[in-house]
Amino acid sequence: MQITGTHFNYYLVCQRKLWLFANGINMEHASDLVYEGKIMHEKSYPQRSTRYKEIELPGIKIDFYDSINKVIHETKKSRKEHNSHTWQLKYYIFRLEKAGLEEVSGLLEYPKEHKTEEVFLSQPDRERIREIETDIHAIIHREQCPPKINKPKCKKCAYYDFCYIDEEQE
């Protein structure tokens, strides 16, 4: 099975979310989330939209790639899931590298917070990504759904009702 950017992101956010999504229980459309990021980028940086290219690989769609400077631009709403944003971008760089594009870097952009951050892929990162890919395969093929994580971010998750409906009724 081809691991997608969404699988990778969900693995970092919550392994239960990854399992639910991969096993066909879909409460949100990954494409809507991608679309939201794309719209925010277009609104925040309208001058760029025509300059940057869209790149598509199996399971990955990069909306804004600056092919001259070899930079992937990824726009996010807030830094709350900063760690998963960084690793998602590293995963994109990793996949481009596997497709033959070398010396690519990333730029994480948080226009609402006026912050940008460069992202690079190191050798330990490549090893970590290979481990994560193995882990993702193992998690999604488990018989049992991983347990709830009971974290504040659950309240904003599209699976909240699914996960906590019993507790709400108590």
Chain contacts with ligand SF4 (rule: CB under 6 A)? 14, 16-17, 148-149, 153-154, 157, 159-160, 163
Are 9 and 88 contacting, i.e. CB atoms less than 8 angstroms apart? yes
For residues 98 and 151, which CB has a smaller minimum distance to ligand SF4 in the complex? 151
For 8, other C-beta atoms within 10 Å of its C-beta total 24
For residues 84 and 105, which CB has a smaller minimum distance to ligand SF4 in the complex? 84
For residues 59 and 146, which CB has a smaller minimum distance to ligand SF4 in the complex? 146
Burial class of residue 103, CB neighbours in 10 A (0-12, 13-18, 19+): exposed
Cβ at position 66, least distance to ligand SF4 in Å: 33
Cβ at position 130, least distance to ligand SF4 in Å: 24
**What residues pair up with 109 in beta bridges, in sequence order?**
75, 116
For residues 7 and 95, which CB has a smaller minimum distance to ligand SF4 in the complex? 7
| C-alpha to C-alpha distance for 147 and 105, rounded to whole angstroms | 35
Cβ at position 64, least distance to ligand SF4 in Å: 28
| C-alpha to C-alpha distance for 78 and 30, rounded to whole angstroms | 18
Cβ at position 84, least distance to ligand SF4 in Å: 12
